[in-house]
Amino acid sequence: MVKVAIIYYSSTGTNYKMANWAKDAAEKEGAEVKLVKVPELAPMAAIESNPAWKAHYEATQDVPEATMDDLDWADAIIWSIPTRFGNVPGQVKQYIDQAGGLWAQGKLVNKVVSAMSSAQNPHGGQEATVLALYKTMFHWGAIVAAPGYTDPVTFESGGNPYGTSATVDGEGNIQENKLDEAIANQAKRTVTIAKAITASN
């Protein structure tokens, strides 16, 4: 059974929603899934200054925090992260940087990986953020399986061939059509490739 870690960071909920769509699709493909959140670095004062952030923070108190063990455990990783100035959020980079020990032991090699992103503009850094994450994955020796245009739904949901992406308006509404289907396709693809890789070991 393929083990999939779905690792997300979300302040107001979009990437949590996307992570859950990926979880449903990965489980449907027979994967064992852990959905975990990247530890928060922002002070409570910042969180509380934004009602939507505070509400989401409280609503997800019971979601386990991502650990190094999750990276070690996983055959595949699906990341769901917002863009922060065209790159991964500080929280995500800080989490990733802690994997130096696993990396030095070669324990991150051959993870099958894909990523998803969100921003407030259609061209708001979604491409840049996914590509930034993949660069790091190459350092790990991961196998990157972006969705590309392997299914028409990627086109119908506005791209992104690097990783399914959301555009979120001021009220938190996702603008893309069929984003759930595009995410399901991406998650299925990640699981399928991870099955091939694990079967060959």
Q: Is 24 in the site for a copy of itself (CB under 8 A)?
A: no
Q: Which amino acid is at 159?
A: G
Q: Is 96 in the site for a copy of itself (CB under 8 A)?
A: yes
Q: Which is nearer to a copy of itself, 13 or 86 (CB)?
A: 86
CA-to-CA dists, residue 88 to 134, 151, 191, angstroms:
11, 26, 23
Q: Is 185 in the site for a copy of itself (CB under 8 A)?
A: no
Scanning 20-28, 52-60, 61-69, 113-121 for contacts with a copy of itself by CB under 8 A, the matching segment is 113-121
Q: Strands 165-167 and 143-144: what pairing?
A: unpaired
Q: Which is nearer to a copy of itself, 29 or 127 (CB)?
A: 127
**Minimal distance, residue 182 CB to a copy of itself, in Å:** 11
Which of 9, 22, 29, 125 touches a copy of itself (CB under 8 A)?
A: 125
**Minimal distance, residue 74 CB to a copy of itself, in Å:** 16
User: Which pair of structure tokens corresponds to residue 175?
Assistant: 């603008």
d(C-alpha 126, C-alpha 87), whole Å: 9
Identify the residue whose tokens are 């503009």: 121
d(C-alpha 189, C-alpha 164), whole Å: 12
Q: Strands 32-37 and 165-167: what pairing?
A: unpaired
Scanning 16-24, 58-66, 67-75, 91-99 for contacts with a copy of itself by CB under 8 A, the matching segment is 91-99
Q: Is 124 in the site for a copy of itself (CB under 8 A)?
A: yes
Which of 78, 140, 168, 181 touches a copy of itself (CB under 8 A)?
A: 140
Rounded to an integer, what is the distance from CA 181 to the centroid of its chain?
16
CA-to-CA dists, residue 7 to 23, 47, 96, 132, 192, angstroms:
10, 20, 11, 16, 18
Spatial contact of 72 and 102, defined as CB atoms under 8 Å apart:
yes
Q: Which is nearer to a copy of itself, 16 or 95 (CB)?
A: 95
Q: Which is nearer to a copy of itself, 97 or 171 (CB)?
A: 97
Binding site for a copy of itself (CB under 8 A): 41, 84-91, 93-97, 99, 103, 106, 109-110, 119-128, 131-132, 134-136, 138-150, 155, 158-162, 165, 167, 176, 192-193, 195-197, 199-200
